[in-house]
Structure 1
Amino acid sequence: MRQQSSLFHFTDRLYRARNLDQIYSAALDAIDDMLGCTRASILRFDGGGVLRFAAWRWLSEEYRAGVEGHSPWEPGDEEPAPVYIDDIAQADLPPGLAALTRREGIGALAFIPVMVSQGMAGKFTLYYEAPHLFADEERELALIIARQLGFAIERHHGDQTARRLAALVESSDDAIISKNLEGIITSWNAGAEHLFGYGVSEAIGRSVMTLIPPDRHNEEPAILARIRAGERIDHYETIRQRKDGSLVDISLSVSPIKDADGIIIGASKIARDITERRRAQEQQQLLLHEMDHRVKNLFALATSIVNLSVASAETPAMLASIVADRLGALSRAHALTLASGTVDNGFRKTATLHALIEAILAPYVEGAQGERKRFTVEGVDFELAESAVTPVALLLHEFATNAAKYGSFSTSAGRVEIECGRRDGDAIIVWRELGGPKVQPSGAEGFGSRLVRLAASQFGGFSRQWHSEGLVIELTMDLSRVGA
């Protein structure tokens, strides 16, 4: 009855223990109470497979230092047998270890392996001052204590692992969700709340279909079918719906959840917001298209310059000189857009609107001395903000390139009139083409038109009208955004 009461008390203390120190203390008390052994120790294998003292009662520092690391078993032993030494004086021990044990006043001892599900965790040791014959009942009690101690150690490590995993899940920026095989949400972390907008109480118990846009409802049955088959889904990119109805691009990973018997009972989902990545990819594609478009335009512009220069060149040398001059002017126009924003003697340089227009259209000045200028620039002038120089240059370059390919610059007699003004806090640029071929408006939006629309939308807008005399473009720019 006393032993049963002690065993019950030991089990209760292990259940209530919140750390390893409390577990070890309960075990040492049980050893003292049930086996009448006032001196005892618990040793655990460290990461290198060496037995180290974890807890002890009434053992000297000299003894602990001398015997630490000695073990009758290896960490990988699957069925280690307990070792009982009834009389140390009769035991076959190494001389140094035998002498150390006698100085400690130990007459008998026992090594009891402590097992967990992954293998051996360590041992506990019983010490008696005189020779001691270990009865069958004592051996059985020692094994019971070892078994309970192993269960408690494993439960503690399992709880620690679960708490770490719970903390990782809860602190993750990714949405981590679990659901059963019917698609009902069973867990919901803070990342999921942030990504989708639903609180924990709103999400748990609801169908995961709540997060799926109507046009993608066919995805969930397919995902559940793959999970039931034990398949894992990695980095599946799709779209989900937030509480406010907005859509979000996500990368989804789904894994089966199994019970203790290995039966699949649900799924764990990790959803990562990839909106910024998608936006960056789209921007990269836009830039690649723009680069391709720019290269083609430069070739077209170079061809146009050559063709226009032929009429005024009397010799190949003169043609080469005229073409070189115009290409040089084109290069200077690009240089002006890059030079804006550089610092000179402590002052930041900016381009004026007229200077930028002149630079962009410099290739369309003909004659060795620039005596024939095929464009005019009139009206209000002002300094451009550093951030506005490149997009405005991009627009003007696009207008000039299109004029060279299809409009007034594509003929020897064509010209362009540019008028700059102000209206209700906006800067207005009117681009008027004259003397070019008859141009018909196109219903399709090419990449160049799309580029113009996107660039103009940064600080205003633009409109195009096709008149009998030629194309007229009106560019509207918010002065507070483009003016220096």
Structure 2
Amino acid sequence: MHITKEEDLRYIIGHAPAGVCILNADTLNIELINTHLLKLINKERENLLGKSYKEIFEVAKPDNETALNMAGTGQSSHDYKGTIIRVLNGKKEVTPATFVYCPVRSGKGKVSQIAVWILENSGEALNEELAAINEELAATNEEYAALNEELVTTNEELVETQDSLRRSEKLFRSIALNIPGSLIIVIDQDHRYVAIEGDIMEKMGYDRRDYEGKHPADISPERYEASRPLYERVMSGEKFSVERKAETGEFYLVHFVPLKNENGVVESGLIIALDITEIKQAEEKSAKLAAIVETSDDAIISKTLESVITSWNTSAQRMFGYTAEEMIGESIYKIIPEDRQDEEPHIISRLKSGDRVDHFETKRRTKDGRLLDLSLTISPIKDKQGNIIGVSKIARDITEKKQEEQRKNDFIGMVSHELKTPLTSLTAIIQAAHSKLRHNEDPFLSGAMEKANYQARRMATMINGFLNVSRLEAGKLLIEKQPFDLDQLLREILEETRLTVTTHSFSLEECDHIAVNADRDKISSVISNLISNAVKYSPKGSSIDIRCKINKETVIVSVKDDGMGIKSEDIGHIFERYYRIETSVTRHISGFGIGLYLSAEIIKRHGGDIWVESESTKGSIFYFSLPATKRK
């Protein structure tokens, strides 16, 4: 058996040939009493421990009090003469004795106890024995003090270790909480929970207070049965990861890491669960997007801001003839014709400013040298911080569409040209007949000729419109500018309109002496088209207002009606070729959707703008602007 120094001290005191008791320095209560002293006073140990020394030994003399006080302050007091009173066989005996008070210090030097030696006075030999015992007690006291010092040092090391453990635990919890979307668990060799932390702890059904220090089988047997094979694998030293999907739809990636000591023995297991729901959803979206890109009929190409191709789908290979291996890493200029090389820097510049390019019509060259007509939609590619890092381009082959439009324009131009000659002759005949029958007694003939003349003019206008569209597409629509008074042209058109249209009222806000340098016939057709549309799309009896004004160096003409108005989704398309608003009302209104398209092109070729302000059921105001000419 291993005997400590404190046990040695107790053994020496217990078997000393003199009476010994140990007192608490503060209370003077008896903490220890040996067998020899019990015999001297003839009392039981149980009746003495914890009792006051003064009460047991009837210490009341001043000298005895002084000796105790001196010992309490750290000074030894020897050879105090006194008596011991005991009751033996019913008789009270008084025995002379010598009392020795010796202070006992703790490891920090403080007097914590007082050792009292009580010796029967039996001569000089007893004194010598007392001196020997006293020396032995002093040596033992020194050993006891050394033991206390060791205990203090050990206690300080223990405190430091506990502080280190607390810091380590705090660091562990801090790390765990700062790993986004994580739960971290540490288990011991018996699968007992040592630590649990993480910002998804509650989300996954864990509560640290209910789990730490407990076995999972005591908390959730079903969950433990499902997890036990994994726990056994990690505690056997295997490092692995598994993926799990919760009943609520979240995805988790769980890492199992064995934690070994310096001897390579697995002491605990580290389990890290990471919420990867967003990653899985992003992967699914990416997979769907990749499938869409690969199955799209349009060529979908991505490139860097330096015009280097980074992706090339199957349709791009079919459209241009180059494989992905041939194009990825190459410059997009490889498929741009020489005469259109300046388009790329312009497009990149717009994208860098955050713009999107929609339906940009251009031409690109294939591997075999053919030119394709394409409609491009180009968008910036941004990272998570919103920085533009690349370009996405969707190219649609519109070669067939362009050829079809060209054939249609050629046909319209040819037919319109062929119709124009007989219509001119027919118009002349109708006008001559109308002139002769104007005063005829039969009102029917006069009215019929007037209506025939109006319809002939409408047909001529329509044919001229088709011819102008054909010429515009062929690049042969000539703009012959000359100075003229815009206000005079407005009055002429309005006077003519009032003669043929009696269902509406017209007003013109005078804008005298407004000069422009433009093609008078083309501007006339624009104004006539806007007034004609106002008549067609507004109810009978309503008013149509024509206004013009000068804004700095620009002339602005407007035509306002109180008609059906235009929906917001149609306004962006209203000036497109052949575009017509389809409603139950417009279905019965004649037209081919070329008037506004042709008007917009004419105004643009004059350096002006054309636009509309409208709301459904609240009427419309069409505007166009032209550069004004200063009068000399």
Higher RCO (CA < 8 A, seq sep 6+):
1
**TM norm structure 1:** 0.35
Higher alpha-carbon Rg: 2
**TM norm structure 2:** 0.28
